[in-house]
Chain A
Amino acid sequence: MRTAATRSSRLLGLCALGAVGFNFPLITLWDRSVTVFGVPLMALALFAGWAVLIGAAAWIVERGPDDAGASAPTESAEP
């Protein structure tokens, strides 16, 4: 049952995950002098992780029901 509330909590969880994963000290785990495909690990980890975060957000947001969100009220809709 995908409701707007589920979406909010998932996004919230993702945000918390990102906040923890992209901050010290966890982020220093990637800080090694290693290269992957020629790219230093730290840079790669940051960008790849970022892309994963974005992808996860897209998945959460686009898969949900197209809820009847409120449009910005026009003049005539003002009660």
Chain B
Amino acid sequence: MHTLPLALVLGASFAYLLLLFTVAWWADRRASAGRSVIGNAWVYALSIGVYCTAWTYFGSVGRAAASGLWFLPIYLGPTLAMLLAWSLLRKMVRIAHTHRITSIADFVASRYGKSRTLAALVTLIALVGILPYVALQLKAISSGFALLAGTQGANSAQGTPWWLDTTFVMALLLAGFTIAFGTRHLDASERHEGMVAAIALESVVKLLAFVAVGVFVTWSLFDGPGDIFARAAADRSLAPLLGLTGSSGGEARFAGGQWFALTLLSALSVLFLPRQFQVMVVELVDERHLRRATWAFPLYMLLINLFVLPIALGGLLHFGRGGADPETFVLSLPLAGGHPWLALLAFVGGLSAATGMVIVEAIAVSTMVCNDLVMPIVLGSGRHTSDLSRLPLQIRRVVIVLLLMLGYLYFRIAGEAYALVSIGLISFAAVAQFAPALIGGMYWKGATRAGALAGLVAGFALWAWTLLLPSIAKSGWLPHGFVADGPFGITLLRPEQLFGLTGLDSLTHALLWSLLANIGLLVAVSLARPPAAREVAQALRFVDVFRSDRQAGGTATVRWRAQATLAELRQLAARFLGAEPAERLFAEYAQRSGARRIERIVLDAQLVRHVETQLAGAIGSASAHAVVATVVEEEPLGPSDLLRLLDEASQVRALNRQLESLDRLKDDFISSVTHELRTPLTSIRAFAELMRDDPDMATAQRQEFLGLVVAETERLSRLVNQVLDMAKLEAGHGQWRREAIDLRELIAHAVHTTSELFRERGAVVTVEQPDEVRPLMADRDRLLQVLLNLLSNAAKFVPQDGGRVRITLSTDARGATIEVQDNGRGVPPEQQRLVFEKFRQGGDASNRPQGTGLGLPISRRIVEHFGGHMWLRSTPGQGACFGFELPWTHDTVGDQS
């Protein structure tokens, strides 16, 4: 058999990997320039092709050579699953994108109340479960490499020390490659455009290479499919491979079950393998791409599987049974046929398949381990005073190396005993354990955290018992009697015939028990105890994600968290996102919420949730929640939400607590307003009634009363307007104009308007201002309102006949300052603070002039809206000076010019 020079094989491999890397780098560059290459349904569909790994390349052929068409269910299952993509997958995508979920662990944890325990468990299962799969890739490449370069026998895996083992070296190289690929920077959404582009290319290469070999085998080595099949049919040992029955692994009566199990298993895996979740959910840019993928990906699988059987049969016919390892037919046949370059191409294809899997899987799993396992521990230990923005990346790199090393370890321990396909199926069965918790969580509101936890633990335990341990045992690392007779000879606990269930092949057997326990416990435990408050809210959000999206704004409930300080939140964001991204985050939010300046951002549930969501992208939602919770004191859900939730005693107590505090807050304002409103109403009613009941009232008296009624009506409407004004200002709904204002002219206008008022009081108004003032950008009517307020206040408090009011306008580089000084009684120090509070009025009651008590608070609000501030300076007995400063420039959002 021909072989290729070692250097050539290595060179070709490196060249190809370099090509992948270049494509990734280029795609990332394009992405940051805003011209993404992956916003394309075909690219998306191709990227899902990462499902086909070295397993497809080598394992399927091997399987077909052993059991004929029994390699196919592994691709039929995903086809059926993709048909559900439009409903199931789209729901998953919608949920994930709504809640910034970036991994399977995040998804499960988030659904069940952001449980960190669940996140950690899922991560652990994923990590352990994926090890066989990684080992499979390593095994495939190493045997392929050995075959191609002729190093077989000289370097067998079992004989050499591990540090010289090419497989080990390869594992290290793959780890390095993956690190370079996926951990160059932290992306809040965990998207890796470069990786997706590379994977899509890699899918194309895989397909072309395999089809090329298939075409070669079918039409060059043989005379077309008819020839192959005819010759296979003629060979008695090969004929059974052409049909279904008679070629399955277990007993014939269970063939149907086995076929179904394989189909189901692979259907679940195409959804729940970490790498599949990554490319199908996290990396998805547009939901509409799902449509194309529904049939394009199955088509891909069909094409790549078209020649599996011909190649397998061809190889068996060519080499004879046992002549060559069927798993590497795709290499050995071209070599035997005198086409080493084709073999090299095939090897590159296989390498491509393996590296694609390893890269995406390692990135996905390392993300999970970082966000859901390590970061919560780091944060929980409290040692997070320093800047943590580099830590996630470092953790992921370590995990990637760890993953590949452990995969290599499994390869050494258990890799030789099994065929590739069987190894892969072990991993499939592991990730299938996510299905009940995840799918159940998406469609059943009653699924609880406890149920998911119980199901996962049981499923994982049974999987380990019935599949993982036997695989290790059969490689000789555990006494053989363990599998044959059960632990300590307890036959009832035999790993492959648990509780006496015989006749099934090990996979179906394992699947049956693990899923049975998983689903059973999920349902039973969920029904046994009602979920906690937070879980039910999440359940509603997940199950009803389509419904709530149709309402305005997405999620239907917003939790109220009180007592968070803005500064602490900013610090938090800077610590985990980096100083600059955090600054941008808050600046953006300030713009959008109308606060203009970051310091002015109103602290409410929306902001806190926004920050938490952004953090979730970097460190996982469970960790983000925990971290934000340390800054914020959480109040339970609001009254309307609680009506929809189950009634737990603690919830009722929380409701009462919250009602009390809200009550207290609102009491002050409402009682003030109602009192203020009722007072003029009282006199209006009284006068009106008095006039009505006394038709003979003197005209002069009647006129006086009517005058008072009119005045009180005016007072009432002024008050109502001011309350509305205040409410609008506080809610940020005020309409603000922006225009150039001549301050000198404005002051003159205000003085003129109040001149009558001052004349009545016998007061004199003087104005001191520069001759020229640059224009100020603000709302003229509002500023006039402020000036009139200050002037009328002054008019109220100056002494009769001797009042002096001085208005001063001064400017500097920063802005303009206006002060109104009167020679009234002044304001005592203890009242100076109160003056700007709603409904407080200065002076004593007996000669307090008419007012609403809202004028100054509103004025202050107006001034602050334009970036300025207002103050009062007063010494009792020496008058009062109200002043305000307005900067020349400020950032406002929502102003109309």
By a beta-carbon cutoff of 8 Å, the part of chain A in contact with chain B is 4, 7-8, 11-12, 14-15, 18-19, 22-25, 27-28, 31-33, 35, 37-40, 42-43, 46-47, 50-51, 53-55, 57-58, 61-62, 64, 66-67, 69-73, 75-76, 78-79
Contacts and interface: CB of A to CB of B under 8 A. Distances in A.
Contact of A15 (B83, B244, B259): B83
Interface string B491-515: 0000000000000000000000000
A54 B94 CA distance: 25
Contact of B287 (A33, A42, A53, A71): A71
B292 interface: yes
Interface in B196-248: 224-227, 229-230, 233, 239, 242-245
Give 4 nearest A-B pairs by CB, closest first: A38-B226, A24-B256, A69-B287, A15-B83
B549 interface: yes
B613 interface: yes
B76 A22 contact: yes
Given A18-B83, A54-B295, 5 more contacts: A12-B87, A43-B242, A70-B97, A78-B610, A79-B606
B255 interface: yes
Contacts of B287: 69-72
**Interface secondary structure of B, over-half rule:** helix
Contact of A62 (B230, B259, B291): B291
Contact of A61 (B188, B294, B614): B294
A35 B243 contact: no
Contacts of B72: 46
Given A8-B87, A23-B259, A39 B244 contact: no
6 contacts: A11-B83, A11-B294, A35-B229, A37-B226, A40-B242, A50-B298
A19 B294 CA distance: 16
A46 B73 CA distance: 10
A42 B226 contact: no
B84 A12 contact: yes
B294 A79 contact: no
A23 to B, nearest CB: 5
A31 B244 contact: yes
Given A7-B86, A15-B83, A23 B97 contact: no
Contacts of B527: none
A19 B83 CA distance: 11
Contacts of A76: 588
A66 B288 contact: yes
Given A7-B86, A72-B286, A40 B610 contact: no
Contacts of B549: 70
A38 B229 contact: yes
Contacts of A14: 83
B83 A72 contact: no
B80 interface: yes
Contact of A8 (B86, B239, B285): B86
B173 interface: no
Given A24-B255, A75-B188, A54 B86 contact: no
B244 A42 contact: yes
Contacts of A79: 553-554, 606, 610
Contacts of B242: 33, 40, 42-43
Interface size of B as a range? 35 or more
Given A79-B553, A79-B554, A50 B291 contact: no
Contact of A72 (B82, B97, B229): B97
B302 interface: yes
Nearest to A38: B226
Contacts of A66: 288
Contacts of B189: 72, 75
B126 to A, nearest CB: 23
Contacts of A54: 79, 295, 298-299, 302
Contact of B69 (A7, A24, A42): A42
B362 interface: no
B288 A15 contact: no
B284 interface: yes
Contacts of A39: 225-226, 229
Contact of A27 (B86, B233, B244, B295): B244
B366 interface: no
Nearest to A35: B229
Interface in B61-101: 69, 72, 76, 79-80, 82-87, 93-94, 97-98, 100
Contacts of A73: 97-98
A22 B606 CA distance: 50
Contacts of B290: 69
Contacts of B298: 50, 53-54, 57
**Which residue, of B80, B97, B588, has the highest number of chain A Cβ atoms within 10 A?**
B80
B260 interface: yes
Contact of B260 (A24, A51, A70): A24
B309 interface: yes
B276 interface: no
Nearest to A15: B83
B288 A69 contact: yes
A11 B84 contact: yes
A38 to B, nearest CB: 3
A22 B80 contact: yes
Nearest to B188: A75
B123 interface: no
A15 B82 CA distance: 9
Nearest to B283: A72
Given A18-B79, A46-B72, A31 B84 contact: no
A14 B98 CA distance: 29
Contact of B295 (A32, A33, A57): A57
A18 B80 contact: yes
Contacts of B284: 72
A66 B239 CA distance: 48
A33 B255 contact: no
B621 to A, nearest CB: 14
B225 A38 contact: yes
A33 B244 CA distance: 11
A51 B256 CA distance: 22
A25 B295 contact: no
Contacts of B740: none
A57 B229 contact: no
B893 interface: no
B300 to A, nearest CB: 10
A36 to B, nearest CB: 10
A61 B292 contact: yes
Interface string B544-555: 000001000110
A14 B614 CA distance: 39
B285 A72 contact: yes
Contacts of A25: 256
Interface in B544-578: 549, 553-554
A2 to B, nearest CB: 12
A11 B93 CA distance: 18
Contacts of B178: none
B306 interface: yes
